Chains A and B, each alone.
Chain A
Amino acid sequence: MSFNNLDTLYRQVIMDHYKNPRNKGSVEGDALTVDMNNPTCGDRIQLQLQVDDGIVRDAKFTGEGCSISMSSASMMTQAIKGKKLDDALKMSKAFSEMMLGEDVDTEELEMGDVEALQGVSQFPARIKCATLAWKAMEKGVQE
Chain B
Amino acid sequence: MDVKAIRQEFPILGEEVNGHPLVYLDSSATSQKPQKVIDAVNTYYKTANSNVHRGVHTLGSRATDQYEGAREKVRAFLNANSTAEIIFTRGTTTSINTVAYSYARANLQEGDEIVLTPMEHHSNLIPWQQAAKASGATLNYIPLQDDGTISLEDVRTTVTENTKIVAVTHVSNVLGTVNPVKEMAKIAHEHGAVIVVDGAQGAPHMKVDVNDLDCDFYAFSGHKMCAPTGIGVLYGKRELLEIMEPVEFGGEMIDFVNLYDSTWKELPWKFEGGTPIIAGAVGLGAAIDFLNDVGMDNILEHEQKLADYAMEKLRTIDDITIYGPEKRAALVTFNLNDVHPHDLATVLDADGIAVRAGHHCAQPLMKWLSVTATARASFYLYNTVDDVDRLTDGLLKTKEFFGDVF
Task: Determine if B372 and A42 form an interchain contact, defined as CB atoms under 8 angstroms apart.
Answer: yes
Which B residues lie within 8 Å of A18 (CB)? 405
Bound-complex Cα distance A29 to B143 (A): 42
Q: How far apart sit A41 and B340, CA to CA, in the bound complex (Å)?
A: 11
Main secondary structure of the interface of B (DSSP, over half): helix
Query: Which residue of B349, B363, B397 is within 8 Å of A1 (Cβ)?
Result: B397
The contact string, 1 if C-beta is below 8 Å from chain B, for chain A 23-50, is 0000000000000000011111000000
Residue from the list B340, B343, B401, B405 in contact with A19, Cβ < 8 A: B405
13 contacts between A and B (CB under 8 A): A1-B400, A3-B401, A5-B350, A9-B346, A10-B343, A15-B405, A19-B405, A41-B358, A41-B373, A66-B341, A67-B343, A125-B349, A126-B346
B404 and chain A: residue at smallest CB distance: A15
A36 to chain B, nearest CB (A): 15
Query: Nearest chain-A residue to B18 (Cβ)?
Result: A5
The 8 Å CB contact of B343, one of A1, A40, A44, A66, is A66
Q: Does B366 contact A (CB under 8 A)?
A: yes
Q: Which of B347, B349, B350, B359 has the most CB of A within 10 A?
A: B350
Q: Interface size on B (CB < 8 Å)?
A: 20
A66–B342 CB distance below 8 A: yes
Report the minimal beta-carbon distance from A11 to chain B, rounded to whole angstroms: 12
Instruction: Tell me how far the C-beta of A142 lies from the nearest C-beta in chain B, rounded to whole angstroms.
Output: 27
Contact B401 A123 (CB under 8 A): no
CA distance in complex: A40, B359 (Å): 8
User: Does residue B357 face the partner (Cβ distance < 8 Å to A)?
Assistant: yes
The distance from the CB of A85 to the nearest CB of chain B, in whole angstroms, is 31
CA distance A129 to B400 in the complex (A): 23
Which residue on chain B has the smallest CB distance to residue A16?
B405
A42 touching B366, Cβ below 8 Å: yes
Which B residue sits closest to A44, measured CB to CB? B372
CB pair B342 A41 closer than 8 Å:
yes
Across the two chains, which residue of chain A brings its CB closest to B394? Answer: A1
B342 touches A129 (CB 8 A): yes
Interface residues of B in 295-333 (CB under 8 A from A): none
Closest-CB distance, B346 to chain A (whole angstroms): 6
Contact (A6, B346) CB under 8 Å given A41-B357, A64-B372: yes
Given known pairs A1-B397, A6-B346, A18-B405, the reply for A40 and B340 (CB within 8 Å) is no
User: Which B residue sits closest to A9, measured CB to CB?
Assistant: B346
Would you give the 0/1 interface string for B345-365, flagging 1 where the beta carbon is closer than 8 Å to chain A? 011011000000111000100
Residue of A with least CB distance to B401: A3
Inside 8 A of A123's CB, which chain B residues have their CB? 346
